[in-house]
Amino acid sequence: MSAGETTVHRYDSDVENPGNNLYVTGLSPRVTKKNLEKHFSSEGKIIDIHLVVDPWTRESRGFGFVTMETVEEANCCIKYLDCSVLEGRVITVERLPLKRPLAA
């Protein structure tokens, strides 16, 4: 992208986040799905965990996604787990945007 250009995002109205999908950053390369499951299960039932890993080393790339069963449980994760320590690193827990941007 050259200077002065802006990125335009469209939002797909068919792909919505009901509010229970979380974006987790600041993860250590040593973090596994089991580590995330143990850390987040204290706040409710986990539906899905997607840990983004390097395709060659299989180590965490420092971020992932956690889907909780309810919005209330997701809110508890944000309230109690944001800025918590996991495997020696302070993690950030945020809600994903309600709609996913698509490339323009």
pLDDT range class, residue 2, cuts 50, 70, 90: very low
∠ CA 53-54-59, rounded to 5°: 65
| pLDDT value for 1 | 45
pLDDT range class, residue 101, cuts 50, 70, 90: low
Per residue in 45-93, pLDDT tens? Answer: 999 999 999 899 888 899 999 999 999 999 999 999 999 999 999 999 9
Quote the pTM value: 0.77
Closest to 50 in 3D by CA, of 15, 84, 4, 37: 37
| pLDDT value for 98 | 64
DSSP character string of 28-70: -TT--HHHHHHHHGGGS-EEEEEEEE-TTT--EEEEEEEEESS
Mean of the pLDDT values across residues 3-11? Answer: 44
Q: Which residues contact 15 (CB under 8 A, 6 or more apart)?
A: 99, 100
- Report d(CA 33, CA 18) in Å as an integer: 23
Joined together, the tokens standing for residue 33 give: 């799905």
Per residue in 10-51, pLDDT tens? Answer: 444 445 678 899 999 999 998 999 999 999 999 999 999 999
